[in-house]
Structure 1
């Protein structure tokens, strides 16, 4: 199944981020330091975007946790992340911290950053870190923060989109209009 930019836009809409007016969500860029900066509490500048490395890591995590039947992951994650982070510096910093935590963990386990691992090792790293059983907590333990900012956010984006929802057998996911025909026919058309 091919994920599209439309899927990412509908997932953003379902998350309550932005709107479909104008149908133009920002796309996370591949360049570091190209985002907006604001002053932090200490008077220094901080970056309110997800940078190149963080975006690459999000794509790698998505490829590890998304079903193998899904294509178009890179563009979907870029579009969703760009819209999700736009204007939300706290979320961008949470993602950056979770990526740093994951990289430290895989550095100790595999002597490499997460994005540099083979696909099977990426899945194994998340399993060994116990991300699959950790409760998602933005201020919790390392596995909880990785679960919250990386895994759960990406899974939400996938299954809130029409294409991803159809993988789970959901006929009419949030933010996807179905109309009276879908209401009358039910899921087993």
Structure 2
């Protein structure tokens, strides 16, 4: 299955993200300079989310980079959310450096999975203002899952033909149960 920018825009629309982002007017990382203004295109949050997506998303998905980048642009419209994401990425890099002596995005998929598990990200509740693992779960893992499963392609992947926020579904209501 292929994820597209359109899937990301649909997921953002379902979450009520602003029209400027949905229309593609806002381009956070495409200006040619990073937050330091040194001219590099480095975006640690994007790199980390893409690396985490390799672990969190099903392997049969294609177009993940474009999808995650578009979704992240929209989510960064909220300054508070963007700041929380940046903090969670820094915390995740700290764990990766402790366990594997490298930033999270530079690890192999197996080491990324190991880092998430050793940080207990899979077992803690998600909290935007909680402990480091709770923030990583909220801003990294759950953010990726929210993006995927609120998109039409992600919904189809798990058998939700009409995710909340999308019109339609008449065929679903007209056919009988599968059991």
Q: After TM superposition, is the score higher than 0.5?
A: yes
Mapping for residues 74-113 of structure 1, pairs under 5 Å: 74-86=65-77, 88-113=78-103
1:65-123: CA deviation from partner (whole Å, max 9, x where unpaired): 0111111110001000101112x111111011000000011101100000010011111
CA contact (8 A) 1:102 1:114 kept: yes
2:159 aligns to what? 169
2:18 aligns to what? 18
2:57 aligns to what? 66
Determine whether 1:33 maps to 2:9: no
Provide closer, same or farther for how the CA distance between residues 34 and 80 of structure 1 changes in structure 2, counting only shifts above 3 A.
Answer: farther
How many residues of Structure 1 are paired with residues of Structure 2 in the alignment?
A: 172
CA contact (8 A) 1:28 1:81 kept: no
Provide closer, same or farther for how the CA distance between residues 150 and 186 of structure 1 changes in structure 2, counting only shifts above 3 A.
Answer: farther
Structure 2 spans left out of the alignment, 5+ residues: none
Q: CA deviation at 1:155?
A: 0.2
Determine whether 1:156 maps to 2:146: yes
Counterpart-to-counterpart distance in 1, 2:120 and 2:11 = 27
TM-score (norm 2): 0.87
1:56 maps to which of 41, 44, 47: 47
Mapping for residues 109-124 of structure 1, pairs under 5 Å: 109-124=99-114
Counterpart-to-counterpart distance in 2, 1:186 and 1:178 = 17
Q: CA deviation at 1:20?
A: 9.0
Q: CA deviation at 1:58?
A: 1.0
CA contact (8 A) 1:98 1:149 kept: yes
Q: What stretches of structure 1 move > 4 A for 4+ residues in a row?
A: 19-22
1:3-39: CA deviation from partner (whole Å, max 9, x where unpaired): 011100111011121249974363441641289xxxx
TM-score (norm 1): 0.83
Provide closer, same or farther for how the CA distance between residues 22 and 128 of structure 1 changes in structure 2, counting only shifts above 3 A.
Answer: closer
| SS of aligned partner of 1:26 | coil
Counterpart-to-counterpart distance in 2, 1:186 and 1:21 = 39
CA contact (8 A) 1:10 1:175 kept: no
